[in-house]
Structure 1
Amino acid sequence: MSEPTRNRETLDSYEAIASDYAESTRGTPSGVGAEALGRLLDALPAGGSVLELGSGPGWDADFLSSQGVRVRRTDGAVSFCDLQRGRGHRCDLLDVTTDAFTDATWPAYDGVLALFVLQHVERAATPSVLAKAAGALRPGGVALVSMREGGTDAWQVGESGRRYHVTTWTRDDFEGALAVAGLTPTWHVRLADDEGDWLLVLATNG
């Protein structure tokens, strides 16, 4: 049997801590996160559709839905989708590295949201994920994505003792990868936490 990919092992770790993660992140967006989601909302048409990759507990999806956005909630961890289903929401199981982003029900989107998830994608797989996001957008569509800043590939061990693979990118390299995928960065902001800086980028496919 082959060894699990770094992304798969990371998803397995989230399977084990989904409930605790949901409680620790509960709440409406604030600060820089709220500003970024506000810019996404401003770029969407009224009643627009958004594909959320790595929805987790679904707090950002709740906020966007409250603003009239139609959100397709997805996650690679069964536990997170189960949490959302328990709250009355549909959540599709979707692995960003292996699964298609569109289907007969959702042939295209006005926006793609991927906050605090792409850092777990292996570096070599990231361009393909970004290209799928760009290809899932309608003309003039917009993506809001985040990446941990740096330039390294490493394992991090959480309080649970589970480990998570984290790939970090410099701003220039990440925005360059977005451009190659067909996404033009139009705005960015940094968000700092105890482990370093996050880069949040808004980009369009037009």
Structure 2
Amino acid sequence: MSDARTIAVYDRQTAEYAAMMDREATRDPMIVRFIEACHPGGTVLDLGCGPGHYAGRMAEARLSTEAIDASAAMVERAAQIPGVAARLGRFEDLAERDRYDGIWAYFSLLHAARADLPGHLARIAAALKPGGVLFIGMKRGSGSGRDRLDRYYEYYERAELDEMLVAAGLTPVDHWTGKASGLAGHPQGWIVIRADA
């Protein structure tokens, strides 16, 4: 799960994070790829939804959109978006079975402890319908640490993520990489992987 210090940062900086997402979510090609990969009209989950910008894009695409986040301030914002059913919760609260056509875990699971990630991925695999799709975004690198805002991160490379996804019963089918600054303003490499159930 995300630690209390990380959640506190998001509670304090909700407005700043939302302003950043106002810019980024509208031009991010990954959300388009995710929507196209999901069954039309299907049920999707934004796991670690933040202020709900990506969930809003899903709802606009006529997907039945649920969202979960550990920050109460973020959930309050996400819940105001038309078509988004947002609730407060942590990664380990995901208990659904065969419910979702798609799960969007976009730069959220990187806040979870490395030892907890296999369990989170197993819950995701169980929650996806057969043929469902996961998009997972992580920061690239090794080890763990906190950024200048005091958020906790785990860093991964593709081979390790692919191995963990396969162990959870998912099949990596595509990936993309790049570099971005994010809220902390420090450019870092990232990877997004699509994995199918």
- Equivalents in 2 of 1:76, 1:101: separation in Å? 15
The residue type paired with residue 71 of structure 1 is T
TM-score in terms of structure 1 length:
0.86
Q: Spell out, residue by residue over 1:144-163, the C-alpha distance to the aligned partner (whole angstroms, 9 max, x if none).
A: 111111111111122xxxx1
Structure 1 equivalent of residue 85 of structure 2:
90
Structure 2 equivalent of residue 29 of structure 1:
26
- Equivalents in 1 of 2:163, 2:3: separation in Å? 22
2:49–2:78 Cα contact (<8 Å) kept: no
What is the number of residues matched between the two proteins? Answer: 190
The residue type paired with residue 9 of structure 1 is R
Q: Which runs of 5+ in 1 are unaligned?
A: none
The DSSP-based 3-state class of the residue aligned with 1:57 is coil
Q: Which runs of 5+ in 2 are unaligned?
A: 182-186
The DSSP-based 3-state class of the residue aligned with 1:83 is helix
Residue 185 of structure 2 is aligned to residue 193 of structure 1:
no
The Cα of 1:191 is off from its aligned counterpart by 2.3
The Cα of 1:21 is off from its aligned counterpart by 1.0
The residue type paired with residue 144 of structure 2 is D
Residue 171 of structure 2 is aligned to residue 184 of structure 1:
yes
TM-score in terms of structure 2 length:
0.89
Structure 1 equivalent of residue 32 of structure 2:
38
Identity %: 26
In the TM superposition, 1:8-19 aligns within 5 A as: 8-19=4-15
The Cα of 1:127 is off from its aligned counterpart by 0.8
In the TM superposition, 1:90-129 aligns within 5 A as: 90-96=85-91, 98-102=92-96, 108-129=99-120
The Cα of 1:42 is off from its aligned counterpart by 2.2
Question: Match for 2:122 among 131, 152, 156?
Answer: 131
- Higher alpha-carbon Rg: 1
The residue type paired with residue 94 of structure 1 is G
The DSSP-based 3-state class of the residue aligned with 2:156 is coil
The Cα of 1:87 is off from its aligned counterpart by 4.3
RMSD: 1.7
Residue 44 of structure 2 is aligned to residue 53 of structure 1:
no
